Structure formats: structure tokens, C-alpha cells
Structure 1
Amino acid sequence: MTVVAVLADPPRPGLALPDIAESTPLSATDTADLYAATLKDTLRAVERSGGDLLVNYRPDDLLSDEHVTDTSSEAELRALAGEALEDVTDARFEQQVGSTHSARAGNTATHLLREEGVDSVAVTRGTTPLLTRTVIDSAAMKLRGNQTVLGPSTRGRTYYAGFTAPIDYEAAFEGPELETLVDRAGDAGHRVEFLPTHVGVETAADLRDLLPVLWSRIAAERVVPERTATFVHEHGLRVRDGDVVVDD
């Protein structure tokens, strides 16, 4: 089975999705709630899949002082996972190690592959509510014949990066990370395969991309990420004339 590491931050105002708070009608508290919703949907998708869930959380000592609270990051994320999962005892929790996203993702993948000897590992952000069991299981199948499997997101990013052997992860998730990861995989002699493109929600532009997809799926009575769709519906979020607005 693939170990799917969800890189997670505690859903705290100012820390969670700051660009969305600055560029949309949502407040910092609202965006923390939005992040919590997308993270819950991501965790639930992994739980439903054939993968093993690892909640790879950023501990308080890797957060700036303004984002540290009386409740530890681990305790906050364990409580959130308890609300999202059918059986939280099946989930594993481990601290992230590293000063950047690339370092944290790379350290996790390398440790699991080299030190724990897992067959395959994937890293994903907790901001991909459209990630589904089907996509995760499809990726696991692709990893049987390819050493790297990538899920493209918008603006050159990825929402899923799976490996059966490490690559050079230094700064690999910066800039146009999809291209960089493909280049690093090629340098390591990996065969590369891709997943369908899905929106990752980190910026106001991402939210503008996501909202029409959610509302269209709701109108067509198709499956939607439950918590994220509920948040969007309750806040009346729509895209009008290219901007995110709140419909009364």
C-alpha cells in the first residue's frame, strides 16, 4: 500500500490561506474554517482509499510566535482528524521536519522510503478537496509501473506527488514545481506518470477556479467534497465578473 502523507498545518487565523483572507470577502477566521474543511475532505479521501494515512503535521516550533496558541498543533490536528475520519486510530501522526515545504515533503518521503522501507509514498497538501478515493487508488496502480506519479494542479503546482524511490527534493516544490519534479525524477532515472488535474486551494485565484466546479457539481447532483461544499454553500461564495463574492 502507498503511504499517503497529508502535510497539514493547524487551521489558525492568519496562518491558514492568508492570500484568500486578503483578497476576498472572507475574514482570517473564515479562511481558517475553509482550510479546516478542505483538510477534512482530504483526510477523508485518503481514509476511504486503499492507502495508509499519515497526518504529517507542522509542529509549533516550526510556526512563528504569532501563530502559536495554548493548544498544540498536534492536539488541534488530532481533534480535527477525529471529526473527519470514521476511525482516527487507523491514522498515523508524525511531525514534519524542515524549514521549507520542499524540505518537509522531501524529508518525509525519503524517511519512509529509505528508513521504513515502504514500497511507495505520496505527499499531498491538505488543500485539495477534489482529491478522491478513486484518484488515490489510481495513483497507487500507476506507482506499480512508474517510480514517480504526479497530480498536476493549477499554476504549475501539484496536489499529489508519489514515489517508489527518492529524488533530489531540494527546492523541488518551489516555482513551477510540476516541471521541477519531472526534471528531478528524470535525473533519478524514474518513469513518470500523471493523474488528472485538480484545483488546490491556496490563493484567491485558486478559489475562483474551484467555486464554479463545486457549484456545477452541486447543480448536476454529482459527488462533492462534503465539508468544503458545505462551507461554500453556507457562506454563499460565488464567482461574479471574475471576483469571489458573497451572495445574500
Structure 2
Amino acid sequence: MTHIEPRDPQASAVPAEGAPGLPHDIDHTHADVSGGWLRAATFGAMDGLVTNTSLIAGVGGAGVSTHTLVLSGIAGLVAGAFSMALGEFTSVSTQNEQIDAEVTTERAAFTKYPEAEQAELVGMLTDMGMSTETATVAAREIHTDADRAVDLHISRELGVDPTEKPSPWVAAGSSFVLFSIGAIIPLVPFLLGSDVLALGLAFGAVGLMIAGALAAHFTSRSTVVGALRQLLFGSLAVAATYAVGSLIGVGTA
């Protein structure tokens, strides 16, 4: 009789040398879409560029001196960077605390109504395409681990993974740094000795296009469209602020 060696249960988990691996190993990876640093950084850079370019346009349109214009721009940079960082920290912290509260609520329901929660999971799994029999077996096995079951319920019911929450510190830091970088760009010509408003606005326009193109790159969309779209939106804000500054400057002259 031929002797058959028992199969190692771990053998299937590790692809043999030369054998294809998982799709994420050989074909593609996924970016962080949890709302952490990328969203905060993109928002911060765009806001810094639009806010300070518009601020400079408005103050410059009022006919103030270059010294006052630069002082206004620096004040806008500092105030905006701290405001953005605080806003991001509070926003992400509140979102995470809300998720924690939902986990607590789900865990209480899991303890108080285990049969109903298991039946709910069966319904979720059948909606995903499983047969009722397979879903019932799977739900029963998943519910043997309370933590795993609660996480799965939250993921399916709220569309968020309670184990992958973004860091409020990372969001705040990203927003602070990128807002500051965006806000300093239209000030560069003045800091180098220029007193031409149009040059500062041109720097801001170039910054808007670069920021729009980079944001589009992260989403695999057309960088040209992204750049032009951001330039258009930013230009509208700059034009409106310049108009207001010019009117106020004329009215107070």
C-alpha cells in the first residue's frame, strides 16, 4: 500500500517558488482611501493656494503697500495652517469616536440578541451571493469570535473598517504642512524683492495647476484636466476677491 504523507495545512498559504501569488503581490496594490493623510494633504495644499492667492489679490487690489501685502499673506498662512490642522484633528477624532460608539452599540446588541445578529449576518452574506445554507454555516463560524463578528457587522452596515481608522495626528500634520507650502507659493516673488502683484498671482496660478495635476495623478485621472479644473476654480476665487478689494480700496481712498 502506498503511504501518503498528510498534507501540511500551511502549504497552500505560501505559493511555491515560480507559482503565481495573490493579485496584490503580482498585479496591483491599493492606495490608502481611509481618509487619512492624502485627503488632508490635498485639501490643505489646495486651500493654502486658493486662500492666500485670493488674499493677496484682494489686498493688492485695494492698493496697499508691498510690506502690508506680505504681512497679510504671512498672517493668512499662519492662521490658516493652524485652523486647518485643528479642523482636521477635530474632524478625524470625532469620526473615530463615532465609529467607536457604533462598535460599542453593535457589541451590546451582539451580547443581548445573538440569534438576531447572526440572522442579520446570514442576510448580509446571502445579499453578497451566498446560498442560505452556506451563509448560515459561515455566520455561525464567524460568530464564534465576538470581535471578528462585530467588526464584520460594522464594516457591512456602515461601510467602514473599525480596525483601519485614520490618525487625527497624521491628518492634522499633513494639512498643516501642505497648507503652509501652498500658502507660501504666491508670496515667493514678494519675499524675493518683487512688488508686482501679477507675478505673485502667476506663481499662485502655477501652484494651483501643479496641485490639481498631482491630485489627479493619485486618482489615475487626466492630469491636464485636473490642473485646468483647479486653475479655473482658483481663478474664480481670485477674481472675486480682487474685485472686492478694488471696490473697497476705491471706496476708502
Work out whether the TM-score is over 0.5. Answer: no
TM-score, reference length from structure 1: 0.31
Give the structure with the higher percent strand.
1
TM-score, reference length from structure 2: 0.30
Q: Which has the larger radius of gyration?
A: 2
